[in-house]
């Protein structure tokens, strides 16, 4: 039984992350605390770098990754936003950094509880984004994250999101794979595209002018490539662990007429609601987006093409536009969806409200569920 934060730390340890720059922020802090204790006791062979800000954490991740080491860190909320400038640099330099974000709503007003506006504020930064639904998935995603990010057809950083407190502080049964097994699965990182060694002088981070757009298009191609790589790595993981992951997680969609789309750990209560309504004969289902970048458009279209009514639950809001995921879903599907804004700042949703949402599908509106 370990917390989501414990699972994240175990992922970094099993992946043999070598350098862990860090800065404390609630509700992420327990991740770096446990890593610091493992490094101190010799259970984890890594350098623990306490930095003076999250901006410096992301800078240190980029520098250490440029020099070819495998790096890890974790952050939350304001910390993630302080990294913003460097998030784009890490991705633009094509550095396969893996970082956990423990989602927490953004200030002001300042709060500790979870929603997804912190992660989604980094939506366009060129990072792969995975949203986890339970603690096992957190551990598995961190280890798989390195294999995906370091793939030469991808070479993009990956952010793994777990919901603050709901997962970060809740204990769940988590199977911890053997180190030998992981060592076979995840070979050492030996980059060819960034080397900081006087034997092979390379200028990293130089100026471009007309070529800029060419580099951005390569980044976009890498993001497209990542869909297949994620699928392949998940298949390999399933062979090893019997645990199945992908870009999306469909739940009871075979004959569903009404479906709610969601990200993250709230999917557990939504599944419970689906089971309950199905027991009453209602044809309802759920689709969980596990990746938001890359946006799994093909998987969404496959899963939802025969569904009559679609609702999208956003634990985020882009004022002046609407729910961020709902907006992307409409663009992907080319049809109307009902947009529910719920759970901001960790506001409890619960099964009754999911039932209410299923009843209110079928209108092209944005509805706030308080």
Partner 1 sequence: MKDTYLKRLTDIPMEDYLVGGHVACQGCSASLGLRLALKVLGKDTIVINGSGCMTLLPVYPTTPLRVPWLHLAIENSGAAGTALYYALRRKNIDANILCYAGDGATYDIGLQSLSGAAEKNIDMIYICYNNQSFGNTGHQRASSTPRASRTSTTPVGKVEAAKDMTAIMAAHRISYVATACPSYPIDFLNKVTKAAEVKGMAFIDLLVPCPVGWGFDPSEGINIGKLAVRTGMWKLYEITDGRVNLTHIPKKRRRVSEYLCAQGRFSHLSERDIEEVQAEVDQEWSSLEARGYGYEIMV
Query: Where does this chain bind partner 1 (CB under 8 A)?
Result: 18-19, 21, 47, 49, 51-53, 55-57, 59-64, 66-69, 85-86, 89, 93, 195-198, 200-209, 211
Omega of the bond leading into 109 within 30 degrees of 0 (cis): yes
Q: How far is the CB of 198 from partner 1 (least distance, A)?
A: 5
Strand pairing category for 284-289 and 248-251 = antiparallel
Q: What is the DSSP letter of 43?
A: S
Give the count of alpha carbons within 13 A of 38, CB side only: 22
Q: How far is the CB of 71 from partner 1 (least distance, A)?
A: 8
Between 146 and 354, name the residue whose CB sits nearer to partner 1: 146
Distance CA 189, CA 10 (A): 19
The SS3 call for residue 314 is strand
Between 64 and 234, name the residue whose CB sits nearer to partner 1: 64
- CB environment 180-210: b (16+ within 10 A), e (fewer): eebeebbeebebeebeeeeeeeeeeeeeeee
Task: Kindly state the greatest CA–CA separation across the chain.
Answer: 69
Q: How far is the CB of 17 from partner 1 (least distance, A)?
A: 11
Q: How far is the CB of 221 from partner 1 (least distance, A)?
A: 18
Q: How far is the CB of 102 from partner 1 (least distance, A)?
A: 22
Between 61 and 229, name the residue whose CB sits nearer to partner 1: 61
Between 186 and 261, name the residue whose CB sits nearer to partner 1: 186
Phi-psi region of 229 (alpha: psi -120 to 50; beta: other; left: phi over 0): alpha
Q: How far is the CB of 203 from partner 1 (least distance, A)?
A: 4
Q: How far is the CB of 5 from partner 1 (least distance, A)?
A: 23
Between 60 and 166, name the residue whose CB sits nearer to partner 1: 60
Distance CA 68, CA 96 (A): 10
Distance CA 259, CA 357 (A): 10
- Tell me, rounded to whole angstroms, the distance of Cα 282 from its chain centroid: 31
**Can you give the C-alpha Rg of the chain in angstroms?**
20
Q: How far is the CB of 34 from partner 1 (least distance, A)?
A: 20
**222, 232 in Cβ contact below 8 A?**
no
Between 203 and 305, name the residue whose CB sits nearer to partner 1: 203
Q: How far is the CB of 306 from partner 1 (least distance, A)?
A: 48
Between 32 and 259, name the residue whose CB sits nearer to partner 1: 32
List C-alpha distances in Å: 312 to 33, 260, 261, 324: 36, 6, 5, 10
**14, 182 in Cβ contact below 8 A?**
yes
């Amino acid at each position: 039984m370990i917390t989501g934060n414990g699972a994240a730390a175990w992922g970094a340890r099993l992946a043999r992350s070598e350098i862990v720059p860090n800065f404390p922020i609630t509700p992420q802090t327990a991740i770096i605390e446990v890593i610091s204790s493992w490094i101190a006791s010799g259970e984890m062979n890594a350098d623990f770098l306490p930095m003076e800000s999250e901006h410096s954490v992301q800078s240190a991740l980029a520098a250490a990754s440029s020099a070819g080491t495998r790096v890890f860190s974790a952050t939350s909320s304001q910390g993630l936003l302080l990294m913003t400038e460097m998030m784009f640099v890490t991705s633009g330099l094509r550095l396969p950094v893996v970082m956990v974000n423990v989602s927490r709503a953004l200030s002001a007003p300042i709060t500790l509880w979870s929603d997804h506006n912190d992660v989604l504020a980094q939506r366009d930064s060129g990072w792969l984004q995975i949203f986890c639904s339970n603690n096992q998935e957190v551990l598995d995603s961190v280890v798989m994250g390195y294999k995906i990010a370091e793939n030469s057809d991808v070479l993009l950083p990956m952010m793994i999101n777990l919901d603050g407190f709901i997962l970060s502080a809740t204990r769940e049964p988590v199977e911890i794979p053997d180190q030998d097994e992981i060592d076979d699965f995840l070979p050492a990182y030996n980059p060819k595209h960034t080397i900081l060694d006087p034997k092979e002088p390379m200028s990293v981070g130089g100026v471009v002018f007309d070529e800029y757009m060419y580099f951005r298009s390569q980044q976009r191609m890498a993001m497209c490539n990542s869909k297949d790589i994620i699928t392949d790595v998940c298949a390999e993981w399933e062979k090893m662990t019997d645990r199945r992951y992908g870009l999306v997680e469909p739940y009871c969609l075979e004959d569903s007429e009404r479906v709610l789309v969601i990200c993250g750990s709230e999917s557990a209560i939504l599944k419970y609601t689906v089971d309950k309504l199905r027991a009453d004969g209602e044809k309802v289902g759920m689709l969980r987006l596990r990746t938001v970048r890359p946006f799994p458009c093909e998987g969404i279209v496959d899963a939802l093409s025969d569904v009559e009514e679609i609702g999208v639950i956003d634990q985020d809001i882009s004022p002046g536009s609407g729910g961020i995921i709902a907006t992307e879903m409409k663009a992907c599907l080319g049809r109307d969806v009902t947009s529910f804004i719920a759970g901001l700042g960790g506001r409890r949703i619960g099964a009754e409200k999911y039932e209410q949402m299923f009843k209110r599908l079928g209108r092209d509106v944005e509805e706030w569920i308080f």
